[in-house]
Structure 1
Amino acid sequence: MSGQLEIVEAEALKLTLEERARLADRLIASLSKDAQIEEAWAAEVERRIAEIEAGRVTVVPAAEAIARARDALA
């Protein structure tokens, strides 16, 4: 990973959950040339943020989620 990318990543991880979700949405949209896909991702991000804010889902740290997935596949 480049030094600049590491700096951007470290700064991004300091953002709130909602800010990180919106940043992720924008980054994904910047990779896509298909407006329909961009709109679908934007809607999905907003839906997930709303579920988290409403308390309907519990967030799990990425390391824990990966460990659970590996355990399930083992």
Structure 2
Amino acid sequence: MARSINDLEKEVFALPREDRARIALDLIRSLDKDDEPISREEWEAAWREEIQQRVQDVHEGRVELVDAEEALAELRAKYKS
């Protein structure tokens, strides 16, 4: 008998953080089947570049930082059921 998604989810969330991260990365990669696969090193390099660009955007004033509590409050108000 196949396990339900809820049972599978409970098992996955019980795993250590590092194992959950690996599964999450593998799942995300599986969504990009049409894309050419990249190595973990390439993936990490691409994220480092993205992070550096975002930090530079902040330092050069191209983006406005918002307090996390303020942003969450706005989202809660917007999507309140």
TM-score after normalising by structure 2 = 0.45
Larger RCO (CA under 8 A, 6+ residues apart) = 1
Q: Rg: which structure is higher? A: 2
TM-score after normalising by structure 1 = 0.48
